[in-house]
Amino acid sequence: MTVRWPKVSVVIPVHDRVAFLGAAIDSILAQTYAGPIEIVVVDDGSREDVTRPFRDRYPQVRWIRQENLGVCAARERGARESDGELVAYLDDDDLWMPAKLDRQVRLLQERPDVGLVGSDVDFFLDESVQGPGWIHQHPILLSVKSTPIHPDPLTLVFERLAPAEAFLDGLPIGTQTILIRRSALERMWPRPRYLRDYGDWHDFALRATLSERIAYQHTVFVRIRRGHGEHSTRDNLRAWRMEADALWRCHSSYPRTLQKAIRPALARFLARIAGKCSRAGCYSHAAILNLKAARATKFTPRRTARWALSLCRVVLHS
């Protein structure tokens, strides 16, 4: 019997940075997957036409250019303009292992009840491994109720809503690792435009838990590049604040079932970022985040006390 291999669309958003784009595309072209693969690169309003040097080298790639709307909008634009039954994402500086698509497509074919699948990763700098695959050892992953897929105990399937809290507590299954059915993706559209570059993955993952079973493969299928484009502590702190603000706005738009499921984890998430702000001397930001954490838990005594303490710090340092 002839096996039907579904078409996979891979979306790569770029903005100003293309130093590693060729390597990212090559890692897609090196996939062992037997089915058709469509590659869509979305330039999210770079200051210059940075993808021009790559167009002759990769004629099979579809190139899209849009105004600067943020990585969330770029991913959605690329997915909407593609036509694969399955959709995957890759950042312009990361790499896929050759068997990624083949293994993940096979899983989705075997399990029609699963909407998306993610995998383990490793970290590298100039081809030297910085850290081994580690997601499978993450205590948060181990705490989520799941079912191993027989006969492969290294693949887990989470029931709907089960991993919602874990995503906010740090469950590190990233955008670069997933393969998702288009039907599942379309249920999340349109994505909130205020997300831009922050909150994209958290919102994506949380919305997915509403309607989809999510699978995780304990295999390194993605290599994440580290050690370039590092930001200052102040920049990183601003990014965390923007992430918190975006997620807080998203939270209010979720159905009550999801709001209730993530309420404790959302408070922990906001409180962790409040702690980062406080340690950096940004006491007013810490107070605002602790207030949101208290609101998320209906002003429990513990969260209210933390908010009051952060207000005291604002007064003492004003």
Q: Are residues 114 and 179 in the same domain?
A: yes
Amino acid at 140: I
* Residue where one domain finishes, among candidates 182, 198, 225: 225
Q: Are residues 255 and 144 in the same domain?
A: no
Q: Are residues 93 and 219 in the same domain?
A: yes
CA pair distance 74, 64, nearest whole angstrom: 9
User: Of 117, 111, 105, whose CA–CA distance to 215 is shortest?
Assistant: 117
H-state helical runs in 30-134: 52-55, 71-80, 100-110
Q: Are residues 182 and 91 in the same domain?
A: yes
Dig out the tokens for 75 from the structure. 């991913």
Q: Are residues 132 and 24 in the same domain?
A: yes
Is there a domain that residue 3 lies in? no
pLDDT at 238: 87
CA pair distance 194, 260, nearest whole angstrom: 23
CA pair distance 118, 104, nearest whole angstrom: 8
Under a CB-based contact definition with an 8 Å cutoff, are residues 149 and 215 in contact? yes
Under a CB-based contact definition with an 8 Å cutoff, are residues 99 and 201 in contact? no
CA pair distance 238, 280, nearest whole angstrom: 11
- Phi and psi at residue 31, in whole multiples of 5°? -65, 145
**What CATH number corresponds to the domain at position 37?**
3.90.550.10
Q: Are residues 121 and 216 in the same domain?
A: yes
Q: Which residue has the tokens 């993952």?
A: 205
* Residue where one domain finishes, among candidates 225, 254, 286: 225
User: Of 267, 275, 268, whose CA–CA distance to 313 is shortest?
Assistant: 275
H-state helical runs in the chain: 21-29, 52-55, 71-80, 100-110, 139-143, 164-168, 182-186, 200-211, 233-251, 256-279, 283-296, 301-316
* Residue where one domain finishes, among candidates 172, 191, 225: 225
Under a CB-based contact definition with an 8 Å cutoff, are residues 90 and 24 in contact? yes
Is there a domain that residue 1 lies in? no
Q: Are residues 191 and 291 in the same domain?
A: no
Is there a domain that residue 2 lies in? no
Q: Are residues 27 and 74 in the same domain?
A: yes
Q: Are residues 138 and 218 in the same domain?
A: yes
Is there a domain that residue 51 lies in? yes
**What CATH number corresponds to the domain at position 268?**
1.25.40
Q: Are residues 174 and 265 in the same domain?
A: no
Residues of the chain with pLDDT under 50: 231
Burial class (CB in 10 A: 0-12, 13-18, 19+), 59: exposed
Residues in the chain: 318
Boundaries of domain holding 76: 8-225
Is this structure's pTM higher than 0.85?
yes
Q: Are residues 174 and 112 in the same domain?
A: yes
Residue 170 region, left (φ>0) first, then alpha (ψ -120 to 50), else beta?
left
The total of structural domains in the chain comes to 2
* CA end-to-end distance (rounded Å), the chain: 74
- Phi and psi at residue 44, in whole multiples of 5°? -90, 70
Q: Are residues 297 and 216 in the same domain?
A: no
